[in-house]
Chains A and B, each alone.
Chain A
Amino acid sequence: MSTTVVTVNRGLFNGFNLRQKTILLISCLSMLLISIVVSSTFIDDSALSTDFGSKNLAPSLEHPFGTDWMGRDMFIRTLGGLGLSIVIGALASSISTVLSVILGLLSSIGKIEDSIVSWLVDLFLSIPHLLLIILISIGLGGGATGVIIAVALTHWTSLTRVVRAEIKQIKTQEYIHISRNFGRSRWWIAKNHILPHLVPQFVLGTIVMFPHAILHEASVTFLGFGLSPHQPAIGIILSESMKYLSAGYWWLAFFPGLSLLIVILAFDLIGENIGKILDPKRAHE
């Protein structure tokens, strides 16, 4: 395997090994995302005030993403929208993770519980995801809370499936049988023997869920559900930009969407690299 070592040590950061490089990549990307969230909270309203003197400007040094028809700076609006998206994504994916922890552990207790959980997963997957989010957000009366809860309530299915499969595998281990013979209750085993094994899955699952949650939130807001038009959400910015497409104001749609894509890619990369570190089989490659 000496050839791989050689390739690893070439390039920009040749002082580090692959593990260090992976951690470096993860921290850089996390810094990017955190700085987006933090800076979006510092946006004051004056930066978004309407200024008809500078409306519909093409991207320039002063306004890197251009300005919209009310003279608002698109870069700041995009930044605010991304921050909002990330916060909503974090909220939704952590709620979803908690749900899948509970359901996953529930399925480990017994056969009836297990079939209930798998039936619930099938039920949630039987309707197209986007339609389900729309349905639930209407049921909750729409608005931002409706969308957040709807996104949170519908993303647990894939992680629950992974957790279920993992639990099934762990349960065949000998120490589980021994513990059972020692008279421990099923719940005690689930809590003390199975749960600790699942922590990496949950960490990874939450991060992998993030981009899905953000994309769904943006899609639903784009369609007009949820957040009010005054919020600087990416979905709203993009749906507004539709009206100005034929006028040739391409920057209104291009940059906000591209920034969303970059954020999603960052999350994907973080997830994949954390997976590499957490997976003991691949950790020392």
Chain B
Amino acid sequence: MNYRKLGIFMGKKTIKLVFLLIVVCIASFWIVEQSPIDPVRAYIGEMSIQPEQKAKLEEYWGVNTPAHEKFLNWAENILKGDLGTSLIYRMPVTDVVKERFAASLLLMASSWLLSGVLGFILGIVAGMTNGTLIDKAIKVYCYILLAAPTFWLALIFLLIFAVNLGWFPVGLSVPIGVASEDVTFFDRIHHLILPTITLSLLGVASIAMFTREKLIEVMSSDYVLFAKARGEKGFDLVKRHGIRNVALPAITLQFLGFSELFGGAVLVEQVFSYPGIGQAAVAAGLRSDVPLLLAIVIVSAVFVYSGNLIADIIYEFVDPRIKQQEMKT
């Protein structure tokens, strides 16, 4: 691989990321600043307080400082690595985000893998049996999955597997009433299974449909016709010529789906009360915890960007066809 080219590529991408983050920071700060919701009211809730105390709080939160000054303060602190204090968790935003994101990452990564593998297999099967009943069944299944609201699926799963069958716990990432040292690895897995399956369902549909289309396209190409003429057939043919050609675009697509994965995680975490970053985002939004919300927006932007970056790298450097073209020139 051409390391110099990779270096330049990464450099460009890093500059782009920095620029993007600056714009995202400014834009999201501006949006939140437009909000007519009073932060002091949001902080104290329905309690009634004296006007003097309110004035004190207003000064503490900087309600009356001009927007650009507030932004500069905030930006300066971010550069120092301080994202402020969360209003609802009463601890530094960095700690909240770290803890929550780790939990979410576990959930997202496992369902990402599951949906990728399952979707790819389904897509290959559907593409191989193009036009038959199996293909149609897979297609209908995918259509329904794509149309189904994620949170509704989560509710139905909860209803069937947790409430009626009692196979899985109803929520949370660890059992209630158990000290954190006593939580076994098995407990965590047990709490993770249902959210993971729910979250992976959405991804399965899109990756399966894509793989199916791609495989049908590849199988009607000239080189497959030639391979057939040489006497290759059945699964060997698909394995040698189909899967190899389809795998890379499918993996790329899977990396491009980070944004939807995050959105799905928000909904799934809410239903299963899984203490991840999505749940924190909803809580921050509902209770006007501006520092936490902005931090989550930034983290999610980096998350989505890294997915796109990996997809770009696959396009640019891993695809053997592109490497071959380079050698020619």
Contacts and interface: CB of A to CB of B under 8 A. Distances in A.
A213 interface: no
Nearest to A248: B163
Contacts of B27: 123
A95 interface: no
A247 B291 CA distance: 37
Question: Which of B28, B155, B296 gathers the greatest number of chain A CB atoms within 10 Å?
Answer: B155
Q: Place the interface of chain B in its size category.
A: 35 or more
Nearest to B261: A128
Given A130-B263, A139-B35, A253 B159 contact: yes
Contacts of B151: 218-219, 222, 238
A58 interface: no
Interface stretch (A18-26, A46-54, A171-179, A259-267): A259-267
Nearest to A246: B163
A245 B164 CA distance: 10
B297 interface: yes
Given A219-B267, A224-B282, A261-B149, A131 B156 contact: no
A136 B34 CA distance: 10
Interface string B293-314: 1001100110011000000000
Interface in A102-153: 122-123, 125-131, 134-136, 138-142
Interface string B25-37: 0011001111111
B20 interface: yes
B271 interface: yes
B49 interface: no
Question: Which of B148, B150, B151, B266 gathers the greatest number of chain A CB atoms within 10 Å?
Answer: B151
A138 B293 contact: yes
A242 B152 contact: no
A131 B31 contact: no
Nearest to B36: A141
A126 B304 contact: yes
Contact of B297 (A135, A225, A242, A248): A135
A101 B185 CA distance: 53
Nearest to B302: A126
Contacts of A253: 152, 155-156, 159
Interface in B1-59: 20, 23-24, 27-28, 31-37
Interface residues of A, number: 40
Contact of A245 (B163, B285, B297, B301): B163
A127 B24 contact: yes
A261 B144 contact: yes
B78 to A, nearest CB: 17
Contact of B262 (A131, A215, A238, A241): A131
Interface in B43-98: none
B287 to A, nearest CB: 10
B285 A127 contact: no
Interface string A255-285: 0010011001100100000000000000000
A219 B36 CA distance: 23
A142 B150 CA distance: 23
A225 B266 CA distance: 13
B158 interface: yes
A31 interface: no
Contact of A125 (B143, B159, B259): B259
Contacts of B262: 128, 130-131
Contact of A223 (B152, B155, B266): B266
A75 interface: no
Contacts of B36: 141
Contact of B149 (A123, A136, A260): A260
B24 A126 contact: yes
A126 B20 contact: yes
Given A242-B271, A268-B143, A127 B23 contact: no
A123 B262 CA distance: 17
Nearest to A257: B152
Contacts of A264: 147-149
B270 interface: yes
B293 A127 contact: no
Contacts of B31: 135-136, 138-139
A53 to B, nearest CB: 26
Contacts of B176: none
A123 B23 contact: yes
A135 B266 contact: no
10 contacts: A128-B262, A130-B262, A131-B263, A131-B300, A135-B285, A141-B35, A223-B266, A242-B155, A260-B152, A264-B147
Which 10 A-B pairs rank lowest in CB-CB distance, beginning with the nearest? A257-B152, A139-B31, A130-B263, A128-B262, A264-B147, A141-B36, A253-B155, A265-B147, A128-B263, A134-B285
Given A123-B24, A128-B259, 9 more contacts: A126-B304, A127-B24, A127-B300, A128-B262, A222-B270, A224-B286, A241-B155, A248-B164, A257-B149
